[in-house]
Chains A and B, each alone.
Chain A
């Protein structure tokens, strides 16, 4: 997307100096003695810093603005804060400082986002739809489309089996199908495309393009430079929680490939 026509575009996501800190109960180990644990539970503020609870500063001061109709890729090595940033944009992780402004309710779609494993695929489709705020009629109207899109039933009647019996690829496909069934203002995708087979990847890339046409913004986290190149026109490169580069896909990917090739 050329820079010139962005002026006509309204921003959909604004990140303003976002910091995100995880607090981890470091279970076990020397510091995790019973008394330390007790004081951790009893005393709130002070104990947190010193005893057992470790802070992980995952995102450090990221600022950018995304516009309507953009597809933005997030790249960076493992643990660079990509998925964390997505969760913050979705409003699922609170920020430590800084703000995320969004237009409407962004929706996060990640392969790790487990739905309910002990329920059948069928129930998951219905519950997922209802949880996203669809009405019962909408869910029933779209049910067949979701199942067809996911391709779960291509190899037999899997939709009536509990999700724990699915292969990881099947689970990811069904989750993607559920999330993509609704038109989102802002759709955040976390490596979903990497898990499906080739056929499903092509189908989901098509669906992403459709979602974009319906005036949304798509964020894609992926380690596959190819799928970033195929779907995104702008790329953010994160490293150690900081924004290293923000620009057109080709430019950023070239720089990223140079850096990672070393």
Chain B
């Protein structure tokens, strides 16, 4: 054990390969560098071939989420319902943030805002822990790492669909009935989903390097929540402030997606509440976050799992 550098090695294998440096030997037999990062298109192809894994992982996580609770899956619907109730109690009844809005508009306005914002918020939070919270899996098995943040975003999408059951009920109780404009919810949520995936990918890479983000992000997200007009109308609230402040708030992605869903669902919430070029803005945010986040995540693919 103490011979220092003296290494007893078995005889080199053969005459043909003798004298070849390891790299040359590897090249000769077509060996590839283990754990090297694949090209971007190859990476997309690998992800596509893991689509069943992504789907199965997200639905498994969704059912496991409440597997320790006695009421089980009822919490899928009960959690968003309780959330909506508390926000209504505080902002609707106590603080009176509904200024200038009819009760029939304000309640669905508030609940839609909360659910749509929660979709982005929980995707970000799940993204932060997508890699750092699953190191066991990352170190044990081989799969494109982007599968994890994508699966977690997909899990949040499924969660949102449960929340939509509650939302539809609340909207109908408030007097807005299904119409053709409801179909606009689908493209709006789809764009938001792409945006969320991008954000989750960025957060997953950042969180893999700096796990402290899991502690920091709740505060960032809460600031974003209050700045996005979840429980009040930005235009009404900022009437006497400079216009650019309202513009910045209204073009922020969370506000854009919230307003699109509100516009689609609520009869009393017309297009006058939406900023100009709203669909274009929604598309732009989705593309910037989605493509940018994907490339950013892929750039560090070979480094996930170090620790």
Contacts and interface: CB of A to CB of B under 8 A. Distances in A.
A-B complex is real: yes
Interface of A: 3, 6-7, 9-17, 22-23, 41, 63-65, 67, 87-94, 99-103, 105-110, 112-116, 118-119, 123, 126-128, 130-133, 135-136, 162, 175, 234, 239, 242-248, 259
B247 interface: no
A91 B142 contact: yes
Interface in B139-167: 139-143, 147
Contact of B64 (A116, A243, A247): A116
17 contacts: A3-B10, A16-B23, A22-B307, A64-B9, A88-B34, A92-B305, A93-B306, A99-B26, A99-B33, A101-B22, A102-B32, A110-B140, A116-B60, A119-B64, A128-B141, A131-B141, A132-B142
Contacts of B39: none
Interface residues of B, number: 52
Interface stretch (B12-20, B229-237, B274-282): B12-20
Given A107-B141, A116-B137, A127-B60, 19 more contacts: A3-B11, A6-B13, A41-B210, A94-B306, A99-B23, A101-B22, A101-B25, A101-B26, A103-B29, A112-B136, A116-B61, A118-B64, A127-B57, A130-B50, A131-B142, A133-B50, A234-B10, A239-B1, A243-B9
Contacts of A244: 1, 3, 7-8
Given A94-B303, A101-B33, A102-B32, A126 B10 contact: no
Interface in B4-59: 7-11, 13-17, 21-23, 25-26, 29-36, 49-50, 52-53, 56-57
Given A234-B10, A244-B1, A41 B50 contact: no
Given A92-B35, A94-B303, A243-B7, A41 B17 contact: no
Contacts, number: 174
Given A11-B25, A115-B137, A101 B34 contact: yes
Interface centre among B52, B61, B143 (most CB of A within 10 A): B52
Interface centre among B7, B137, B138 (most CB of A within 10 A): B7
- Ranked 9 nearest A-B pairs via Cβ: A91-B35, A7-B14, A113-B140, A101-B26, A16-B22, A114-B136, A91-B34, A130-B53, A101-B31
Interface centre among A9, A109, A113, A130 (most CB of B within 10 A): A130
Given A101-B33, A136-B52, A90 B136 contact: no
B31 A131 contact: no
Interface centre among A100, A118, A119, A131 (most CB of B within 10 A): A131
Contacts of A6: 13-14
Nearest to A262: B1
B79 interface: no
B32 to A, nearest CB: 7
Nearest to A252: B8
Contacts of A116: 60-61, 64, 137
B271 interface: no
B281 to A, nearest CB: 33
Contacts of A109: 140
Contacts of A3: 10-11, 13
Interface in B60-75: 60-61, 64, 67-68
Contact of A100 (B8, B33, B305): B33
A11 B31 contact: yes
Contacts of A103: 29-32
A92 B68 CA distance: 32
A63 B50 contact: no
Contacts of A94: 35, 302-303, 305-306
B52 A130 contact: yes
Contacts of A17: 22
Contact of A127 (B26, B53, B142, B210): B53
Contact of A105 (B11, B26, B136, B142): B142
Nearest to B14: A7
A180 to B, nearest CB: 13
Nearest to A237: B8
A101 B50 contact: no
Interface string B271-300: 000000000000000000000000000000
B129 to A, nearest CB: 14
B119 to A, nearest CB: 23
Contact of B17 (A7, A132, A259): A7
A126 B56 contact: yes
A107 B60 contact: no
Nearest to A17: B22
